[in-house]
Amino acid sequence: MKFGILVNEGPFTHQASDSAYQFVKAALEKGHEVPRVFFYYDGVYNANKLSAPQADDRNVVKRWSDLAKEKDVDLVVCVAAGLRRGIVEDNLMDGFRISGLGQLTEAAMGTDRLVMFGD
Amino acid sequence: MAEYDFDTEGVKKTITFLNRKAPYGTIYALEVLESVLISAAFEQHANIVFVDDGVFQIKKGHDTADLEMKNFLPTYGIIEMEKEDADEDEDMDMNWRIIVEKESMEARGLTPDDFKVEVEVLSSAELADVLATSDAVIGG
């Protein structure tokens, strides 16, 4: 099955991003496809490369970035939501790209399921 | 990591936009609204649904002056226009519905006349059916 993922919350305050990451990893391990993860609302903070959690905790931003590189998942940050919150090319983590909301509509159109992770 | 190229040629789906939150306490209402507007360009079927405190998003008479926030109530008028244009244009295969959950509306003492746009009022059970038959749900 082909899954699109929508992440609605930033790292740490909510579990949404963790749950989305675990879901994507599990889906890929089961042989499903996850062509795109779209980050919207505070979800855009998942792409902030300045995030520096303590060493004994998970690094949510880096984890997404590594997944994108290893599994070729397209991580898209909403440009409008990002601009509002100061997520721009300058502080964008490797493996993410910034694009428009049309990419979310496309993910809804082009996958079997769009799974939303939020509060 | 590479940009994924979806083949969306000729795809027609029903996307439900689920509004659950009051208009100004959080940003969800505004950003859901932005995603609805963008999706119009793709000519997909859409249900714009208001439940819980989300029903306040379309209540007439927002006054945000003291909040110092942008009043986005007029933007729902644009959504209604998009819907009406699609309804009238026989060449356009795009069915939009603006839906309010009856229980949420009544619990807050509202009636359909209180809303800025014309709405369909559906019971919770009827709304469950709308959600179950949607291809995707986007919300905040």
- pLDDT tens-digit readout, B51-88: 999 999 999 999 999 999 999 999 999 999 999 999 99
| Number of CB pairs, chain A paired with chain B, less than 8 A apart | 77
Measured in angstroms, the CA of B3 and the nearest CA of chain A are apart by 6
Q: What whole-number distance in Å separates Cα of residue B97 and Cα of residue B48? A: 6
How far apart are alpha carbons B60 and B71 in whole angstroms? 11
Write down the ipTM of this complex: 0.94
The reported pLDDT for the residue numbered B2 is: 77
Q: Mind listing the pLDDT tens digit of every residue in chain A (119 residues)? A: 999 999 999 999 999 999 999 999 999 999 999 999 999 999 999 999 999 999 999 999 999 999 999 999 999 999 999 999 999 999 999 999 999 999 999 999 999 999 999 99
Q: How far off is chain B from A107, nearest CA to CA, in Å? A: 7
Report chain A residues whose CB lies below 8 A from the CB of B38: 100-102, 104-105
Q: Where are the domains of chain A?
A: 2-53+60-117
> CB-based contact (8 Å) between A117 and chain B?
no
Which of B4, B32, B6 is CA-nearest to residue B19? Answer: B32
Question: In B, what residues contact A, Cβ < 8 A?
Answer: 1-4, 6-8, 11, 13, 15, 27-28, 31, 34-35, 38-39, 41-42, 44, 135-140
Annotated catalytic, A78?
Answer: yes
Tens-place pLDDT, residues B86-138: 999 999 999 999 999 999 999 999 999 999 999 999 999 999 999 999 999 99
pLDDT at residue B29 in the model: 97
Question: What kind of architecture, by CATH, is found in domain B14-139?
Answer: 3-Layer(aba) Sandwich (3.40)
* pLDDT value for A18: 98
Please list every residue in chain B whose beta carbon sits closer than 8 Å to the beta carbon of residue A118. 139-140
- Measured between its terminal Cα atoms, the distance across chain A in Å is 25
Query: How far is it, in rounded angstroms, from Cα B8 to Cα B42?
Result: 9
Q: Which option is the CATH number for A2-53+60-117: 3.40.50.12780, 3.40.1260.10, 2.40.30.10, 3.90.1280.10?
A: 3.40.1260.10
Q: What pLDDT shows up at residue B1?
A: 56
Strands in A8-51 per DSSP E:
33-39
What pTM, to 2 d.p., does this model score? 0.96
Determine, for residues B1 and A72 on separate chains, whether the beta-carbon distance falls below 8 Å: yes
Q: Cα(A4)–Cα(B8) distance, rounded to whole angstroms? A: 14
Interface of A with B in 13-72 (CB under 8 A): 35-36, 40-41, 68-69, 72
Q: Are strands A96-99 and B96-101 parallel, antiparallel or unpaired?
A: unpaired
* CB-CB neighbors (< 8 A) of B136 in chain A: 4, 108, 113-114
CB contact under 8 A, A105 and B39: yes
